[in-house]
Every structure is written in C-alpha cells, then in structure tokens.
Structure 1
Amino acid sequence: MSVDNRRTARKAVSGDSAPREIRRRPKNRRAQIAAASAAAFGALGYHGVSMEDIASGLGISSAALYRHYPSKYALFREELLRVGRAMTESVELPEAAGRGMAADGVGGVGERWTSERRLRQVLDALIAVTIENRPTVTLVRWEGRYLEPEDLTVLTDQQLAVVGAIGVQLAALRPELAEDELRVLRAALLSVITSIADHHASLPAKSLARLLNSACWSIVPAELPALEADAELPVAAEIPDSFKHELLLRKAVELFHDRGYPNVSVEEIATAAGLSAASAVYRFYRGKSDLLAAAFRRAADRVSGAIGPAVAAAADAEEALTTLIEQYIEGSFSERALTFVYYTEFQHVPSDERTVLRNIQRLSVEEWARLLRDVRPELSPAEARFLIHAAFALVVDLGRNFSAEPIASPARVRLLMQMVLFGRPARS
C-alpha cells in the first residue's frame, strides 16, 4: 500500500472525514471567461450584464472573476479589442504573397499570386475568424460605442484596417472601379461576413464558410448603378407638434440612435417632443422601454405586413422578393435611425415584448427564405435564412457607414441585396 493510501486508510479508520478533492483552476480560465462574457454581452448588451451574471454563468464566485479582471469594463474592452486585432491580423497576406510567389506550393512552387487569389485569401481568412468569434463580433458591430474614447479609437482603427485590406485587393482585381464604388463594395463585403453576428441561425462551420464565400463573390463583380445627381432619398413624413403620441416615438428613437438607450432619460425625450415635464410622457407610454417596444413593433409589422400583398400581386417568387426588397429599402431609408436602433437596443425591450418581436421577425425571415428557395432550390432552409439576414445587414450597415454621403444610394443597395440573395441582378 502506498503512503498516500495508508494515510487515507488511517483517516477512514479513525473516523476522520474523507480527504477533500483538490480543485485546480483550469488553465484556460481566461478563455472561458472571455467566451462567457461575449455570450452575455451579446445577448443582453454591455449595460445589461454584471460581473455577478458572468461569474454565475461560469459557476465561479465574483471574487474569483475579479482575480482575472478588475472590472466589467476591463473584460469588455479586452474581448472587443482581442477580436478586433484577430480580424485585422486575418487580412494580412503571407509574406510570399507580397512577392508574388506561392506560399504553400498550390499550383506549383513559384507560381504568381493573382489578384483574385489574394482577395480570396483575405476574404476566406476573415470569414474563418468571424465564424470562430461570432459572439464577440456581435459586440464589435453593435456595442463598441460604449468603449471609452481611447479604446474606441483603437477598435475603429482595427476595423478601418480590415476594410482597407479588402479594398486594396478588390481594387487590384477591379482597377476600373471609381473610388465611391470601391468604398461601397468593400463595406458590403464586410457587412455580409459579419452579418452572422446579428442572429442565432446555425450551420456547420464549413457550410457557413462556403455560403459566406459564395455571397461575397456574388458581390465582387457587381456593376453598381451610376449615382443620380438629383435623386431624392426617401424621408419620413413630418409629424405635427400636436401629434404627441407619434412625436414622442420619433424623438425617442432619434435620441436612442445618437446617444444609446441607457444614456437617454425620459425627461430628455419629453423635452425633445416639446412636453413640459417627464410626467406628460406617461399619458402616452408606460415608460422608456415601452416607447422602444412600440417603435420596434411598428418596424416589425411594416416588414411582415408587406409580404402578403407582395406575394399576391407577383407572378412568381422572384418578382415578389424583388418587390419586398424595394419596400424594405424604402422603409429603412426613410427610418434610418429606427433601423439602426432596432439592431443596437433590442435587448432593452421588456422580455415579453421581445418574445413577440422575435416571433414576428422569425416568421418574416421564414417567408422571405421560402420565396428565396423557390428562386434558388439548391439552398437549404438554413442557408436561405443566413442570406436573408445578410441582405438585411447590408441595408443598415451601408446606411450607417454612408449616412452623410449619397454613395450608398437606394438603387445601389437594392442591387447588392439582389446579388446576395439571387447571386445575380433580379430580372427586369
């Protein structure tokens, strides 16, 4: 009998309790914390998560969590900048590609890297990193504005490096592109790839990578329509000051868009709508979250309500989807602030209303996906859903990236949605 066994036996005979199991901290504890925090922040937003929530999800104490990170912000910051750095590093070409030589012998040692191969390398690597870090990419897309200014500058520079690398390779492949066309197309490529962070649909990683690759290469050759100098963008209808119910919705959404839901008070909404006191808001809405829910419900109903009439009036599924694309763009462009807020502040809607909104959105996506599969029967239901979400992301991303410029016009966004969904322009 070994010494350890004899000691254990003596304790058992003498009535002592059995020796305690020694629990060692896992070597990958920081990685576990990062994954858990990304999932929590992605689901509830930065302001909706506490250190206690993250610790509880990991089955550890708050004190144990604080041994690794001094604050919630430190954890949030590290995770965002880690993934931002990973995305930036992914789009760096290997040294051999810069010399025009093959790095891995594919196609023969010494073979030149074509412009197409370089762009494929950049897109494939970025797709892989995005899939691997999907929960945190959600934070990069929608929660980065809660970083402190210095950290936000770092994240912004990282994202500019990513889109810049895409642009360099796209310009080499398509040197005929004007600067405005190049900017729109490179932003569209990044939007399609990162759109997987906006929803919870699932596909095996390899299948998802193939689908995103195919969607990107549908965009690469797109011939964008020329900009029309006198084209007018859709705008929301003016609301008379006397219509306080509607005016409150509009002003609340504008404030949420500009400053973030947690940073806006009921008093500020009342002032923006021309009301004398915050108490006046409660004559129309139960509170700030009720305002948000009402605005979201209207947006969701607009999308879902358009499906039936479009299908009824169309000769086939492609015509119906083409009409829905047109209407989606018109509604989104006229309510750009609401479109953005829907993505960034959804977690602040009361839970019961979130359930209703998710059901409306899910059914709308299913109907669009069903129509898309009629046009492209080779797609699985899951693949069709991913493409629908990618097309929706194009609208919000191009809108927020170029809100002060006309280069992402409705006509251009319409074509890009068609390229992602159909793999080609819609029939005339």
Structure 2
Amino acid sequence: MSVTDHTEQRAETKPPEPGTQTAAPERVVRRRPKNRRAQIAAEAATAFGAHGYHGVSMEDIAGRLGISSAALYRHYRSKYALFREELFRLAEVTVQAVTLPEDAATWTPRERLDHVIDAIIAKTIGNRSTTALVRWERRYLDDEDRQALDDKFAEAVRLLGAIVRELHPEFARDDVAVRSVAVFSVVSSIGDHHATLPTRLLTPLLAATCRALIDVELPAPEPTPAPPEPEPGSPFMHEVLLTKSVELFHERGYQNVSVEDIATAAELATASAVYRYYRSKSDLLAAAFRRAADIVSGAIGPMVTASATPADALSGLIDLYVDGSFAERALTYVYYAEFGNVAAEDRVTLHHIQQLVIAEWTKLLVQVRPELSDAEARILVHAGFALVVDLGRAFGDDGIAPRDRVTTLHRTTLFGHA
C-alpha cells in the first residue's frame, strides 16, 4: 500500500527462458477507492468531534487515513470545506429524520410522532461525533454559512413541531417550540460525552424521555426576573477579567479571542497587564471553569443532608443548577463548548470534578428510579444538563423558556415526569 490515494498491484517478473520471446511487462494497475470522499468525511468528523475544528489540521486527517496531504486536497480544497460539508450533511440528515414517508397519511398522530422520534434517535446515534461538532463548533462557520445551517435546523424543529401540534392541538405555538427543541436537545446530548449504552437500550430510554417532554404539562410562561444589580463599587480586576473573557469566548469562540481583546474589554492599557493576574488565556478559562465546577459539586453534600428523600435532594439540585445557569448563561455554554481548550493539567482536575458530579447525581437518580441501571441514569443526567444549556441558547430571555419551564423540563428528563 502506498501513501498516495490509490493502491498498486505489481506483477512479479522473471528472466525470459532461452529461445523464447520476451513478454511485454504487465501494466501497473492503480485504483482509487470509490468511497474515498466518504471515508475522508467520516474520518474528519471523528477528528473534529474529538479535538474541535481548530485542533485538527488537514495533515492530521491525511495521516489518519494513510494518504498524502496532496491526495486529500484533491477531494477537499481546505479544512473549512471539509468542516462545512460535514455540518450541512448532518443538517440534511436531521431534516430527513423528521420528514414523514408517504404512507404516514394513514397513521395516527401518535404513530407519526413515534416514527419521527425513533428516526431522530437512530440518525443521531449513527452520527454521534458530528452531533457534538454541530452543537459546539458551528460558530466557526462564516456568517452566511452559519445562518444557512441554523435555518436548516430551524426547519427540522418546525417539522417536528407540526407533528407535535397534530397530537396536541391545544398547545400554543411557543409550547410546541419549547418541546421540540427539548426533544432535539435530549437526543443530541449523547454527542457531549462518552457514556455508552447498547443501542437496544439507549433507543427506548431516549424515546420514552422525549415522549414525556412532549406530554408534560408546562407552567404558563412568565418573564424571568431580571438579575439583581451588582453591588456598587469597583470589582476586583480578577473578576472583571474572568467576566469579560467568558463573554468574549461565548460570543466569538475561544480560538478567535486574543489576550489583547480581553485587555481591551477589561479597559486595561496593554495586553501585558492581563498577565499580572493570569498566566495565560487558558488560565482564565480554567479559573472560570473551576469556579463553576466547585459551585455545582459543592452543592451536593449540603442538599443531600438537608433533604428528606433522594427525590427531594435531586429536585433541589435541579433548582440550583437551573438558577445558576440562568445567572451565568455565557459561562454555562462556554463550559461545554470550550472544555477541550483548557490546559491538560487543568483539564484532568476539572474532568475529575465533573465525573464526581455526574456520579453523585446518577446515584440519586437510581435511588429515585430503581428500574434504571447506572448507565441509563448517567445518560439522563447528561441529557438534563444539556437541556438547560440548549434552551437558554435557543430562547435566551425572550420569555418562551423562563426558569420555571426549564426546571419542569429538567425534572421531566430525569424523573420521567414533572
């Protein structure tokens, strides 16, 4: 096998026998795999999903495939082209999943919804690495491409919403939108982690959760109260830098923010002034993440001690998590999107804290729902965290998904009911 984009087959030759004619040498046959472009796209999706868009080069992808960079560029003119194609491929797959077949006209509304939910789950399981890529890396698309991609996924949400409305014609438009986004969030959350469960168990678990999210009674939407005004006086520069850096990471993406940008946002004269407080841009990210992780982990012990039952403890933790997410929307999103950009030594510590949080929530959930295995409960815990982030990202503070509704949907994800 050569390192170029083809295989070679060579005939073994021997010296001619005396008195015989010399045969013409056998031609070298070069064949390119017919599915090479699909192989490249699949390998790139895995690499991007594991290391992020900026963490992967064309040379990395070529090396994973055992071909030369020149061979790779024959199929894709740039890393961006590869990245873009993969995201739009998943968008098209998602739209197809919520598009009913022709014979669905004779189905009941519940049968139509069940079919679409199963299709969403199957397509997501089959594209798990790309699902994570779309969720957290699509902001690195050009503005025009990002808008086109968002329009595609909005179309999928609308198609799902139309099926939900057939089943529940009493739902208001905003109710349908919230539930539709919740379904996509819970299913696509499997791209955020490495917890595994056999497909034969994962599919019914996610499907039952999606049906519960669609059927649960939601409180009437009310505006979320405005956050309290900050205390008078100048905050410490450490705090200013943390706040401004997280805002910039949320808006532009970590890789697109410089220390100079952070200094300007914090109204510091020079970029070097940032280094009096933090050693690096990565250090800022780690400090913000460590604070968030400590708050979430530190709440578990006191809540369990103060609660009469595991259900009360888990419900109280859900309240605290949703409240914290509403208070720090940007940080909650950045924690998911930029975790891979933290320095390796800090990432180990943060990952350990994260695993402890997941383990404690999982233990409580199994106590509340003993029919669940640890693996199933862990999937639902991850789904609940993702749901809160996605609803905040989709609806912000427009009143469609206020705190009490998000809390209800989070409880439904874990408990199977509100």
How high is the TM-score relative to the length of structure 2?
0.91
Judging changes above 3 Å, is the alpha-carbon distance between structure 1 residues 21 and 424 closer, same or farther for their aligned structure 2 residues?
farther
Partner residue of 1:166 out of 135, 160, 166: 160
Corresponding position of 1:136: 130
- Residues in 2 aligned to 1:25 and 1:312: alpha-carbon distance in whole angstroms: 64
For each residue in 1:290-326, what CA deviation from the matched residue of structure 2 results, as whole angstroms up to 9, or x when unmatched?
1011111111111111111111111121111011101
Identity %: 57
Show the 5 A alignment for 1:3-82: 8=12, 10=14, 24-82=31-89
Q: Give the superposition deviation at 1:348.
A: 1.2
Show the 5 A alignment for 1:236-385: 237=230, 240-385=233-378
Corresponding position of 1:104: none
Contact 1:137–1:197 (CA<8 Å) still a contact in 2? yes
Letter in 2 for 1:61: S
Partner residue of 1:216 out of 206, 210, 225: 210
- Residues in 2 aligned to 1:237 and 1:12: alpha-carbon distance in whole angstroms: 93
Q: Give the superposition deviation at 1:47.
A: 1.4
Judging changes above 3 Å, is the alpha-carbon distance between structure 1 residues 66 and 235 closer, same or farther for their aligned structure 2 residues?
farther
Corresponding position of 2:149: 155
Corresponding position of 1:417: 410
- Residues in 1 aligned to 2:181 and 2:54: alpha-carbon distance in whole angstroms: 28
- Residues in 1 aligned to 2:93 and 2:257: alpha-carbon distance in whole angstroms: 33
For each residue in 1:62-98, what CA deviation from the matched residue of structure 2 results, as whole angstroms up to 9, or x when unmatched?
122112211101110111111111111111101122x
- Residues in 1 aligned to 2:361 and 2:15: alpha-carbon distance in whole angstroms: 69
Contact 1:239–1:247 (CA<8 Å) still a contact in 2? no
Alignment: residue pair count: 400
Corresponding position of 2:176: 182
Contact 1:234–1:330 (CA<8 Å) still a contact in 2? no
Corresponding position of 1:105: none
Contact 1:332–1:339 (CA<8 Å) still a contact in 2? yes
Show the 5 A alignment for 1:67-106: 67-97=74-104, 100-101=105-106
- Residues in 2 aligned to 1:28 and 1:190: alpha-carbon distance in whole angstroms: 30
Letter in 1 for 2:225: E
For each residue in 1:254-298, what CA deviation from the matched residue of structure 2 results, as whole angstroms up to 9, or x when unmatched?
111111111111112112112111111001101111101111111
Contact 1:236–1:334 (CA<8 Å) still a contact in 2? no
- Residues in 2 aligned to 1:182 and 1:235: alpha-carbon distance in whole angstroms: 31
- Residues in 1 aligned to 2:13 and 2:79: alpha-carbon distance in whole angstroms: 47
Q: Give the superposition deviation at 1:11.
A: 6.2
- Residues in 1 aligned to 2:15 and 2:284: alpha-carbon distance in whole angstroms: 66
Q: Give the superposition deviation at 1:235.
A: 5.7
- Residues in 1 aligned to 2:16 and 2:378: alpha-carbon distance in whole angstroms: 61
Q: Give the superposition deviation at 1:38.
A: 1.0
- Residues in 1 aligned to 2:235 and 2:373: alpha-carbon distance in whole angstroms: 50
Q: Point out the more displaced range, 126-135 or 42-51.
A: 42-51
Corresponding position of 2:20: none
Letter in 2 for 1:212: L
Contact 1:318–1:375 (CA<8 Å) still a contact in 2? yes
Contact 1:91–1:122 (CA<8 Å) still a contact in 2? yes
Contact 2:289–2:350 (CA<8 Å) still a contact in 1? yes
SS of the counterpart of 2:14? helix
- Residues in 2 aligned to 1:264 and 1:307: alpha-carbon distance in whole angstroms: 34
- Residues in 2 aligned to 1:116 and 1:236: alpha-carbon distance in whole angstroms: 47
Corresponding position of 2:7: none
Corresponding position of 1:125: 119
Q: Give the superposition deviation at 1:240.
A: 4.6
Q: Give the superposition deviation at 1:422.
A: 0.6
Judging changes above 3 Å, is the alpha-carbon distance between structure 1 residues 419 and 368 closer, same or farther for their aligned structure 2 residues?
same
Contact 1:233–1:333 (CA<8 Å) still a contact in 2? no
Gaps of 5+ in 1: 1-6, 14-18, 102-112
- Residues in 2 aligned to 1:120 and 1:134: alpha-carbon distance in whole angstroms: 21
Letter in 2 for 1:151: D
Q: Give the superposition deviation at 1:238.
A: 5.3
Corresponding position of 1:16: none
Contact 2:362–2:374 (CA<8 Å) still a contact in 1? yes
Judging changes above 3 Å, is the alpha-carbon distance between structure 1 residues 120 and 278 closer, same or farther for their aligned structure 2 residues?
same
Contact 2:222–2:399 (CA<8 Å) still a contact in 1? no
Gaps of 5+ in 2: 1-10, 18-25
How high is the TM-score relative to the length of structure 1?
0.89
Q: What is the aligned-residue RMSD (CA, Å)? A: 2.1
